[in-house]
Structures are given as C-alpha cells and as structure tokens.
C-alpha cells in the first residue's frame, strides 16, 4: 500500500536558539511570549497541518524580530506521512 504524505509547516525555533546559544528563558524575557508557547514551539513534534492549529502573526513577527530572521528561516515547509484513517472513518461522509 502506498504511503501518502501531507504538507506541514515545521517550526525551527529550537534549532535557531541552539545556534545562538540562547535558552528558552532568554527568548521569553526578550519577547514577552509565554514560556508555554515558546516551549511548545521548540517541541520537535510541533507543526502546522492543513486544518490544524496555527501560530499567530503577532507571535511569528515577534520571534522573527527578536531572532533577526525572516519568517522563511523560522518556518519550513515539508511533508510527513499522513496517519492512516481508522476503519470507522469510512462510515462518515467526506467533506
């Protein structure tokens, strides 16, 4: 069976912090973004998928300004395997 992939946007915040030698705490102090938000964006499992959660433009702009990077440096378009549909999903009408 062929593997299907879906487009996702990954956040590269942890990588950028590591390159600069910054801690999450330092970024929180510089930006005023909550510790919880910064921690979740540094989580390698964080991504934006179609119809998923999204990062606000304010947070994106604040992070880019603090790190002095363009949005394309912070976010990367990639793909990941689409999770298999459970058997009962066939019973629901498609949208």
Domain count, the chain: 1
- Number of helices (H), then strands (E), belonging to the chain: the values are 5, 3
Average pLDDT of the chain is 81
Strands annotated E in 3-94:
5-11, 47-49, 75-81
pLDDT tens-digit map of 8-31: 777 899 999 999 999 999 999 999
Residue 84 lies in domain: 5-91
Torsion of CA 57, 52, 42, 45, to 10 degrees: -160
Instruction: Kindly state the tokens that stand for 94.
Output: 């498609």
What is the predicted pLDDT for the residue at 91?
63
- State the CATH number of the domain containing residue 74: 1.10.260.40
Q: pTM (2 decimals)?
A: 0.69
SS3 72: helix
Strands annotated E in 1-95:
5-11, 47-49, 75-81
């Amino acid at each position: 069976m062929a593997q299907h992939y879906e487009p996702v946007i990954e956040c590269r915040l942890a990588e950028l912090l590591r390159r600069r030698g910054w801690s999450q705490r330092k970024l929180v102090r510089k930006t005023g973004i909550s510790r919880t938000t910064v921690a979740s964006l540094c989580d390698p499992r964080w991504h934006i998928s179609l119809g998923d959660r999204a990062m606000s433009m304010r947070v994106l702009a604040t992070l880019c300004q603090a790190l002095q990077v363009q949005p394309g440096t912070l976010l990367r378009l990639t793909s990941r395997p689409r999770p298999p549909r459970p058997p009962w999903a066939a019973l629901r009408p498609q949208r």
